[in-house]
Amino acid sequence: MINLIKETIIYVFDTLIHNAVPLSFGIFVASILNVYIEPEKFKALLIKRKKVSIVGSVAFGAFTPFCACGTMAIIVSMLTTVLPWGPIMAFITSSPLMSPDLFVMLSGIISVKFAIALTISSVFIGISSGYLSYFLEVHTHFFDNQLRFSKPDNNKKSCCSETEKKGISANTCCTSATKITQSTESCCTQSDTTSKINNFFQKYKLKQLLNVIFNLGVKQILFYFSAFAAVGYFINRFVPTSLIMSLFGSKNIFAVPLAALIGIPLYVSDAGSIPLIKTLMDAGAGGGSVLAFMITGPGTSVGAIVGSLTIMKRKAVLLYVSILFISSIILGYFYNFLLFLGL
């Protein structure tokens, strides 16, 4: 037992060293985007330009580093705006599947071909689910009463209009708000001038960047990467290669739906699962099976479904899960077909 633990630790350490460059660069990219991208500005743009909101939501979901938990936070914000179900569903289906940091890590550790395949899959799923949801919302009553909370009344535009309804002077309200703002700005100005170093860190958000690198990079990505590397070692040692090939190899016609089905209940951290899928592919698992697993794993994990149920009701969540599951099977078979053609 002690020897097994030692061998596992050595294997995980060697895996981290071997993949240090793409892993470090991926963490840095994820941290940069988390700190310097402002979701509220993009959301406001989607509201103004509804005609491109589905495509915009897919772009925002697939090319920003939000995990399932981060995705839920953004969706809660989106659901309280005037955005229809189309862009919301487009975002929720594409966001957990791809991010810039994941693309970097997949390209460096697995292959550029697989990274491109997963990226195209996330965009395809997002756009398809967005327009399907748009059709259902416009032409059916499918999404009626599917939110667990109501959207706010857009006629209530400001604190001043609210206070006027209660008989309070609007000038008093706005004047008070202005005083609070001015007081806050004055306080910030005084604190900024106390130290040039603090001002520099605050201006470029360096302290926040370091916190994100530690909390996101070390505590999440690095942790799950190491955990799945250990799982990969156990698979290498105890699971026969012939069994993996028979279950998930491209010659097994049921390999893709099986991999998609296995991915549904599991918590799969997209970047952290790379050592696991590399182990499976090295042992003979087909590319289509692994692609299906990487679609359902991050998108339909227990955490993602529970998070969805907190803001949406069963019909909407069932549609979300069904879209990802069916799409993963279709895209998995299609990717196997492309690999068979030598593309």
Reduced to 3 states (helix: H, G, I; strand: E, B; else coil), residue 153 is coil
Q: How confident is the model at residue 86 (pLDDT cuts 50, 70, 90)?
A: confident
Question: How confident is the model at residue 336, as a pLDDT?
Answer: 93
- Do you know the residue count of the chain? 343
Q: Got the DSSP string for 76-98?
A: HHHHTTT--HHHHHHHHHHTTT-
pLDDT of residue 174 exceeding 70, the answer is no
Q: What's the one-letter identity of residue 53?
A: S
Section 257-279 average pLDDT: 78
What are the residue boundaries of the structural domains of the chain, listed by start? 2-148+205-340
Question: How confident is the model at residue 264, as a pLDDT?
Answer: 79
pLDDT of residue 120 exceeding 90, the answer is yes
> Is the model more confident about 198 or about 116?
116
With a pLDDT cut of 90, the percent of the chain lying above it is 19
Reduced to 3 states (helix: H, G, I; strand: E, B; else coil), residue 312 is strand
Q: How confident is the model at residue 66 (pLDDT cuts 50, 70, 90)?
A: low
> Is the model more confident about 275 or about 189?
275
With a pLDDT cut of 70, the percent of the chain lying above it is 64
The Cα–Cα gap between 95 and 114 comes to: 18
Question: How confident is the model at residue 145, as a pLDDT?
Answer: 86
The Cα–Cα gap between 46 and 39 comes to: 11
Q: How confident is the model at residue 85 (pLDDT cuts 50, 70, 90)?
A: confident
Read off the pTM: 0.67
Question: How confident is the model at residue 219, as a pLDDT?
Answer: 77
Of 62-76, 117-131, 146-160, 282-296, the range with the lowest mean pLDDT is 146-160
Q: Which residues contact 261 (CB under 8 A, 6 or more apart)?
A: 296, 325
> Is the model more confident about 188 or about 298?
298
CB atoms within 10 A of CB 155: 6
Contact 274, 307 (CB under 8 A): no
pLDDT of residue 114 exceeding 90, the answer is yes
Q: What is the pLDDT of residues 288-324, one digit of tens each?
A: 999 999 898 888 766 567 667 767 888 998 999 999 9
pLDDT of residue 222 exceeding 50, the answer is yes
Section 225-229 average pLDDT: 75
Q: How confident is the model at residue 149 (pLDDT cuts 50, 70, 90)?
A: low
Of 171, 102, 162, 91, the closest CA to residue 125 belongs to 91
Q: What is the pLDDT of residues 11-31, one digit of tens each?
A: 888 878 877 776 787 677 667
